[in-house]
Amino acid sequence: MFKMDSHIHSEYSPDSSSKIDDILKVAAKRNIDIIAISDHNTVDGTSEVLKKTRNTDILAIPSIEISSSHGHILGFGCEENIPRDLSPEDTIDRIHDLGGLAIIPHPYCFYRHGLLHNYKEKLNIDAIETRNARFIVGYCNNKAKNLSIKENLPALGASDAHYYKFVGDCYSLIDCEKDVDNVLKSISKGKTEAKGKGTSNIKLSKYLFEKNFLKKFD
């Protein structure tokens, strides 16, 4: 079994300033074996992490978080950009054409572009996040977990960290060999378990303090 954090943002996302090197340090410290930089609408972070993890113990999976017309979709395994604002169906087709898996992150989070919150068509998706570290309490994750059980959809845990210290706050245990193709296959077969306690309010407060308030009171 390996520990995988499949949804991490880096400085290539407009809403994160995390350096890939810092993300890798925290991942190593927290014994995360497999990571994916899933930046908003760009694979630049993925390209960097693939280079930096060559010949290291950490396996990086290419990934991108695409803003479809109705919500976010991860192109997991995709090394190329996919245009934003396509329909969910077209976005998913593009992901599959590139050999990737279409994973729905935070599916029911209505204020963070959760796709399944407002899109009711049947979609050809491969997996969903049932433990997104930013919504560990309550409705969003519970509803996703229920869907995964009802539809027999593979379930993943992920940090969705926009700050490197939150990497690994949720993760998946995955039964696989440590190579990209095998990881994708194992997810498809549902050989994953969503784990982790999520990002605590204390940790979030410290982050806000570091980001905003520290300078003011120096």
Which chain residues interact with Zn ion by CB under 5 A?
65, 72, 105, 160
Shortest Å distance, C-beta 105 to Zn ion: 5
- Least distance (Å) between residue 59 CB and Zn ion: 20
Nearer to Zn ion, 182 or 207 (CB): 207
CB of 114 to Zn ion, least distance (A): 8
Element (H, E) at 186: helix 180-188
Closer by beta carbon to Zn ion, 165 or else 185: 165
Considering beta carbons, is residue 71 or 154 the nearer one to Zn ion?
71
**143 or 185, CB closer to Zn ion?**
143
Instruction: Report CA 21 to chain centroid distance, whole Å.
Output: 18
Name the residue whose CB lies closest to Zn ion: 72
Which of 85, 88, 83 lies closest to 107, judged by CA?
A: 88
Residues shown for the chain: 218
Nearer to Zn ion, 33 or 129 (CB): 129
Nearest approach in angstroms of CB 160 to Zn ion is: 5
User: In Å, what is the CA distance from 94 to each residue of 40, 87, 118, 155, 174?
Assistant: 16, 11, 21, 22, 25
**Nearest alpha-carbon partner for 173 in 165, 181, 183:** 183
The distance of closest approach from Cβ of residue 215 to Zn ion in the complex, given in angstroms and rounded to an integer, is: 26
User: In sequence order, what E strands does 31-154 have?
Assistant: 34-37, 59-60, 65-68, 71-76, 101-104, 127-132
Q: Which is nearer to Zn ion, 70 or 72 (CB)?
A: 72
Exposure class string for 57-74: b at 16+ Cβ within 10 A, else e: ebbbbbbbbbbbebbbbb
Minimum distance between the CB of residue 55 and Zn ion, rounded to whole angstroms? 28
Q: Is 100 helix (H, G, I), strand (E, B) or coil?
A: coil
